[in-house]
């Protein structure tokens, strides 16, 4: 059975029921609209509106879900020994996200968050963390498109107080 | 080779051939199009980062800085605290390998939290492998309080406190032992000239110890030089004026520690032979497969111990106390060795131990 998903720019995606179920948000909406796997009429007559996701991003999300639809549900380790959250990004996922620039990763992450697709969300957050690795503060600011609202004096004070240098 | 200036570098880049297929690339998003990630998502991302990678976040922007501090949970290899005559210092070695170190300085009469508005957040839920505290000055109650508020929710494996003759750290130790968050696996106390210590308070504090892998007391000749053997006071060649005046632990504290810690070393102990026998029995009866207690004492206590042992059923005594080494056993696995220091020391060392002896249990042997 197939489910129709409609993006913010009015693009309709027809996906397998199993794929639609990978999103907790979509699952909930289907339940609310009394759509069930065994009731074809309910699936045909309804479509799920997703006003927070654009066509381009939705295509990427579906591509990821297609690949992972047969995955066993896995338990994420909350924290490693040293209090850090760790998530292993599989080779396929690395390749999948490799060419996305930061802004697009953020869009995709926003969609994964809104759709509640945990695996994709974890993949992207780990990928972004890997991008931050080894970067200096101004490089991080540029990456996130953040304007630094700390004055030079404040920065100097923080550096002095915490006595580390950036290089 | 020094890096080329930018202009030259760009000229040396190979020019793509016209026939080459242009790389498939989506149009770059302009800065305005980069979505602003909400705080909760940023928190999740930052939690993936190591403490070293999080260092630059402090000066990216006010929002990023406060998020980074809010997360806490830093992992820190080691924290050194020095409470000196002139200056107080906390050094956090975020990463020993790369020498990444963050330090906080203050003067003895000003609390750290008053100098650094973010210091509590910096150490919030941080996990620290080693916490070393060097207390070099008199009257450390204020410093103990100051540190207590800084390290409210620290997770520490190994705590070592070095105390000069002027410092009294029983307050801080009491807090360490009673704090719910800070549950160290090992505690070491090193004293230089411990006669200034308030022993009654310290012993009361030590009797609060519930469960530790190791508890260690050292007597140091010099404060700095923790890795050098020669700076330790034991074996001592001359006795103290009153032989047990510098004993930090008394007999009942020793028995309590023997019961609650897996490995205990206490230096000089003001105890009786009866206390030592009791400690020996505690170790015998412990369900643990390895456990030990090391103390120093005086000859009359050793004599009393052997008289008592001779009159106790089930004990076997080897050798004579005045010949140097005497062992006796109750169970097959626990031993008590008494030894007058061969290096010319005047105190006697008592070593009670139970070692993992699974290999010795041959099949068919009755238990």
What is the domain partition of chain A in residue ranges?
Answer: 2-68+88-162
pLDDT greater at residue A78 or residue B178: B178
Model confidence, pTM: 0.73
Report chain A's terminal Cα–Cα distance, integer Å. Answer: 57
A113 at B interface, C-beta within 8 A: yes
Structural Rg of chain A based on CA atoms: 20
Task: Express each pLDDT in A96-153 by its tens digit.
Answer: 888 788 888 998 999 999 999 999 999 999 999 999 988 988 899 988 888 888 888 8
Confidence label for B286 from pLDDT (cuts 50, 70 and 90): confident
Q: Do B102 and A164 touch (CB under 8 A)?
A: yes
Q: Do A146 and B104 touch (CB under 8 A)?
A: no
Average pLDDT estimate for B156-166: 83
B196 at A interface, C-beta within 8 A: no
Average pLDDT estimate for B148-172: 81
Task: Express each pLDDT in B101-140 by its tens digit.
Answer: 888 888 888 888 888 888 888 888 888 889 998 888 776 6
A134 at B interface, C-beta within 8 A: yes
Cα–Cα distance measured from residue B48 to residue A144, given in angstroms and rounded to the nearest whole number = 16
B34 at A interface, C-beta within 8 A: yes
3-class DSSP state for residue B99?
coil
pLDDT value of residue B358: 45
A98 to chain B: closest CA residue: B25
Location of structure tokens 């309804």: A46
B73 to chain A: closest CA residue: A83
Cα–Cα distance measured from residue A134 to residue B317, given in angstroms and rounded to the nearest whole number = 64
Of B44, B49, B58, the CB nearest to A162: B58
Cα of B200 to nearest chain A Cα, Å: 37
Task: Express each pLDDT in A54-106 by its tens digit.
Answer: 999 999 999 999 988 888 777 665 555 555 667 788 888 888 888 788 888 99
Instruction: Report ipTM (2 d.p.).
Output: 0.88
pLDDT value of residue B139: 61
Quick one: CA torsion of B95, B99, B101, B106, rounded to 10 degrees?
140
Is residue B354 packed enough to be buried (19+ CB in 10 Å), middle (13-18) or exposed (0-12)?
A: buried
Q: In this model, does residue B176 exceed pLDDT 60?
A: yes
Q: In this model, does residue B210 exceed pLDDT 80?
A: yes
Ordered alpha helix ranges (H), chain B: 6-12, 39-47, 51-54, 62-71, 112-115, 119-122, 141-150, 170-178, 199-206, 251-260, 273-285, 299-310
A84 at B interface, C-beta within 8 A: yes
Q: Give the pairing type, strands B212-220 and B186-192.
A: parallel
A92 at B interface, C-beta within 8 A: no
Q: Do B48 and A84 touch (CB under 8 A)?
A: yes
Q: In this model, does residue A25 exceed pLDDT 80?
A: yes
Cα–Cα distance measured from residue B101 to residue B154, given in angstroms and rounded to the nearest whole number = 17
Of A113, A146, A164, the CB nearest to B101: A164
Task: Express each pLDDT in B313-354 by its tens digit.
Answer: 767 776 654 444 455 554 556 777 777 765 566 788 888 887
Confidence label for B364 from pLDDT (cuts 50, 70 and 90): very low
Cα–Cα distance measured from residue B167 to residue B198, given in angstroms and rounded to the nearest whole number = 10
- Residue of A52, A79, A83, A120 to mutate, interface with B, max B Cβ within 10 Å: A83
Which of B:12-31 have CB within 8 Å of A?
25-26, 28-29, 31
A75 at B interface, C-beta within 8 A: no
pLDDT value of residue A76: 60
A98 at B interface, C-beta within 8 A: no
A52 at B interface, C-beta within 8 A: no
Q: In this model, does residue B264 exceed pLDDT 90?
A: yes
Other Cβ atoms less than 10 A from the Cβ of B229: the count is 6
Q: In this model, does residue B226 exceed pLDDT 70?
A: no
pLDDT greater at residue B35 or residue B69: B69
Task: Express each pLDDT in B228-259 by its tens digit.
Answer: 444 567 767 777 887 888 888 999 999 999 99
What CATH code is assigned to A2-68+88-162? 3.30.710.10
Q: In this model, does residue B202 exceed pLDDT 70?
A: yes
- Which of B298-302, B313-317, B359-363 has the largest mean confidence? B298-302
Q: At what angle do helices A91-98 and A118-132 cross, to 10 degrees?
A: 70
SS3 labels along A102-132:
HHHHHHHHHHHHHHCCHHHHHHHHHHHHHHH
Buried b (16+ CB within 10 A) or exposed e, B144-178: bebbbebbeebbbebbbbbbbeebbbbbbbbbbbe
Location of structure tokens 């260690």: B216
Collect all residues of chain B within an 8 Å Cβ-Cβ radius of residue A111.
none
The reply to whether omega before B131 is within 30° of 0 (cis) is no
């Amino acid at each position: 059975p197939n489910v129709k998903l409609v993006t913010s720019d009015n693009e309709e995606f027809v996906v397998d029921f199993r794929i639609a179920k990978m999103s907790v948000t979509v699952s909930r909406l289907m339940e609310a609209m009394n759509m069930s796997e065994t009731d074809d009429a309910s699936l045909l007559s309804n479509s799920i509106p997703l006003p927070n996701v654009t066509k381009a991003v939705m295509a990427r999300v579906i591509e990821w879900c297609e690949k992972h639809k047969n995955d066993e549900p896995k338990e994420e380790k909350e924290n490693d020994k040293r209090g850090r959250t760790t998530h292993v990004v599989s080779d396929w996922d690395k390749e999948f996200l490799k060419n996305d620039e930061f802004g697009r990763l953020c869009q995709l992450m926003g969609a994964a968050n809104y759709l509640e697709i945990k695996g994709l969300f974890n993949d992207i957050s780990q990928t972004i963390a890997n991008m931050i690795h080894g970067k200096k503060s101004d490089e991080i600011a540029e990456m996130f498109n953040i304007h630094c609202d700390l004055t030079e004096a404040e920065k100097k004070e923080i550096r002095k107080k915490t006595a580390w240098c950036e290089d | 080779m020094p890096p080329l200036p930018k202009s030259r570098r760009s000229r040396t880049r190979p020019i793509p051939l016209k026939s080459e297929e242009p790389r498939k690339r989506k149009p770059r998003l302009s800065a305005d199009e980069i979505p602003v990630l909400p705080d909760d998502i940023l928190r999740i991302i930052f939690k993936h980062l190591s403490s070293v990678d999080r260092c630059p976040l402090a000066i990216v922007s006010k929002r990023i800085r406060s998020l980074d501090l809010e997360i806490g949970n830093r992992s820190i290899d080691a924290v050194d605290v020095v409470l000196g005559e002139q200056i107080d210092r906390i050094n956090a070695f975020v990463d020993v390998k790369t020498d990444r170190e963050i330090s906080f300085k203050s003067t003895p009469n000003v609390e750290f939290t008053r100098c650094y508005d973010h210091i509590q957040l910096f150490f919030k839920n941080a996990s620290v492998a080693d916490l070393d505290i060097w207390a070099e000055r008199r009257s450390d109650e204020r410093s103990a309080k100051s540190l207590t508020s800084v390290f409210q929710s620290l997770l520490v494996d190994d705590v070592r406190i070095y105390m000069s003759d002027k410092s009294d750290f029983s307050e801080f130790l009491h807090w360490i032992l009673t704090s719910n968050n800070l549950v160290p696996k090992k505690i070491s106390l090193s004293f230089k000239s411990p006669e200034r210590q308030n022993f009654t308070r310290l012993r009361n504090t030590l009797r609060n110890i519930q469960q530790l892998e190791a508890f260690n007391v050292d007597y140091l000749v010099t404060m700095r030089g923790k890795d050098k053997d020669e700076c330790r006071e034991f074996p001592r060649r001359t006795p103290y004026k009153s032989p047990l005046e510098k004993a930090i632990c008394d007999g009942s504290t020793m028995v309590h520690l023997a019961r609650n810690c897996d490995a205990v070393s206490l230096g000089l102990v003001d105890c009786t032979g009866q206390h030592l026998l009791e400690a020996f029995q505690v170790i015998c009866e412990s369900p643990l497969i390895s456990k030990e207690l090391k103390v120093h004492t005086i000859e009359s206590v050793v004599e009393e111990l052997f008289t008592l042992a001779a009159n106790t059923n089930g004990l076997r005594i080897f050798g004579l106390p005045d010949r140097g080494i005497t062992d006796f056993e109750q169970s097959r696995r626990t031993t008590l060795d008494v030894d007058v220091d061969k290096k010319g020391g005047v105190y006697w060392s008592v070593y009670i131990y139970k070692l993992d002896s699974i290999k010795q249990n041959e099949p068919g042997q009755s238990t």
